[in-house]
Amino acid sequence: MKINKTATSRLSLGRLKKAALLGVAIAGLGLASASQAQDVEVPGNIKWTIPFGVGGGTDVWARFFSPWLSESLPGEPTIMIDNVPGGGSINGANLFSVRAKSDGSDWLGTSASTQYPAMLDDPRVRYDYSDWTPILATPTGGVVYAQPSLGETADSAMDALLAQPVKLAAQNPTGVELPVLIALDMLGADVQAVFGMRSRGEGRLAFERGEADIDFQTTSAYLSNVEPLVEAGKAVPLFSLGVLNDEGKIVRDPAFPDLPTFNEVYQARHGEAPSGNAYEAFRKFFASGYALQKLIMVPKDTPQGLVDTYRQAARDFVHTDAFKKAADAQLGPYTPVIGDTVQRHLDDAMSIDDATRDWLADWLQKEHGAKI
């Protein structure tokens, strides 16, 4: 910018000098922050508690991430996976909450099975998410699909779905199917859920045998096991749950860009966006169980410098071509979410107001005979 020296007053020059000094100060703060993240001493050994058994989904996820994190951290610390199964992850999370040290040497891996009991005030839960700080989250998505006997297109199958009772083989009403059950109820479907399946895979097999009219699978299972059914004309996809963008809005799933989200289907069917206590319950359980399905957590008192270092280590590799290629089979087309964005979404998801909780308790009791 060219300055007319004749017209510039001493006061204007003073302001320019102050602005320049302020810019230097701000830049200095940024450099200091980056330096602080690099200068902290990372523990040589990190124990990563996984509250599930060896070979389960969360264990496989942690063992996939651990070498990437270790190699990106200063000193390349040894990350030891400590499996503490029991109670659907509650036992291990409870132990972590009382035993974990806040010196950066203790991490916890959580999943929807850990988030949901805390949100539902399960009496076995002794942990509180407000006592932990998230480092990284990995999202997933999922698709609801129907038997072609209901209709050969999504619209015709949906019309039939809303006109008659339909069966869904599910695990339990407060598990991973919870937001799906809420979504179907909001659309007006009369779902007769048959609970007791030991896994979503068992539910899919019931669908393949013709014992269920509709089914739901998360992204990885859908891509590997259901897309062949769709291609063979044995399943009709209806909608996806979607994903959260950085602003917390539900948008189309990158794994299924041609499939409408539940929100879009509701809007098309009802002429307005979903809202109310039912939608609040759907949104929060979708966020905590899918958009933030698996999380790396550390105790809240962990020094901020270490938290920043762990988050920066994740940022250093998640956008590399090597990681994307390796992660494709493990995570699907989803980029891990890191840092403050995770914290913001997690705080929102885990906070349920009294009106929403009362609605959920009444709905679960009336529709599925479940108490919370």
Residue 28: the pLDDT is: 42
Quote the CA–CA distance of 139 and 337 in Å, as a whole number. Answer: 8
pLDDT tens column, 163-222:
999 999 999 999 999 999 999 999 999 999 999 998 899 999 999 999 999 999 999 999
Question: What is the span of the domain harbouring residue 245?
Answer: 142-288
Question: What pLDDT shows up at residue 327?
Answer: 93
- Partners of 80 in the beta sheet? 47
Same domain flag for 315 and 227:
no
**Four-residue CA torsion sign, 63, 66, 71, 72:** positive
- How many residues are recorded in the chain? 372
Instruction: Name which of 12-21, 149-158, 195-204, 356-365 the model is least confident about.
Output: 12-21
108 lies in the same domain as 165: no
Residues 330 and 264 in one domain: no
Contact 195, 172 (CB under 8 A): yes
Same domain, 165 and 211: yes
Residue pair 61/27 in contact by the 8 Å Cβ criterion: no
In a domain, 241, yes or no: yes
150: domain CATH number? 3.40.190.10
Identity at 163, one-letter amino acid code: A
- Residue at 360 is within a domain: no
204 plus 274 within the same structural domain: yes
Position 1 pLDDT exceeds 60: no
- Does a structural domain hold residue 5? no
Residue type (1 letter), 87: G
Where does the pLDDT of residue 31 fall: very low under 50, low under 70, confident under 90, or very high at 90 and above? very low
Q: Per the domain annotation, does 195 fall within a domain?
A: yes
Neighbours of 315 (CB within 10 A): 14
Structural domain contains residue 119: yes
Q: Are residues 123 and 156 in the same domain?
A: no
Tell me what pLDDT residue 26 has: 37
pLDDT value for 27: 39
**C-alpha to C-alpha distance for 129 and 348, rounded to whole angstroms:** 12
Distance CA 349, CA 281 (A): 9
161 and 205 in a common domain: yes
- Mean pLDDT over 74-98 rounds to 97
My answer on whether 238 and 163 are in the same domain is yes
Other CB atoms within a 10 A radius of the CB of residue 83 amount to 18
Same domain? For 265 and 163 the reply is yes
**Residue 346 counted as domain residue:** no
Nearest of 211, 208, 198, 209 to residue 168 by alpha carbon = 211
Mean pLDDT computed over every residue of the chain: 90
Percent of the chain with pLDDT over 90: 85
Give the helix/strand (H/E) hosting 281: helix 276-286
Residues 274-301 have pLDDT tens digits of: 999 999 999 999 999 999 999 999 999 9
* C-alpha span between 340 and 256 (Å, rounded): 27
Last-in-domain residue among 261, 288, 315 = 288
Residues forming beta bridges with residue 192, ordered by sequence position: 167
> What is the pLDDT, as a whole number, of residue 259?
97
Compute the Cα dihedral for 164, 217, 210, 229 and give only its sign. Answer: positive
pLDDT tens per residue, range 109-156: 999 999 999 999 999 999 999 999 999 999 999 999 999 999 999 999
Please indicate, yes or no, whether residues 212 and 169 belong to a single structural domain of this protein.
yes
Q: Which residue has the tokens 């929102």?
A: 348
CATH number at residue 113: 3.40.190.150
Contacts within 8 Å (CB) and 24+ apart, 325-332? 326/64, 327/64, 330/60, 330/61, 330/64, 331/138, 331/140, 332/140, 332/141, 332/219, 332/220, 332/223, 332/255
- Answer yes or no: is 2 within a domain: no
Q: How many domains does the chain have?
A: 2
Q: How far is CA 328 from CA 291, 313, 318, 331, 336, in A?
A: 17, 20, 12, 6, 12
Give the span between the Cα atoms of 189 and 8, in whole angstroms. Answer: 72
**Whether residue 252 sits in one domain with residue 323:** no
The answer on 152 and 134 residing in a single domain is no
Q: Is residue 357 part of a domain?
A: no
- How far apart CA 23 and CA 368 sit, in angstroms, is 60
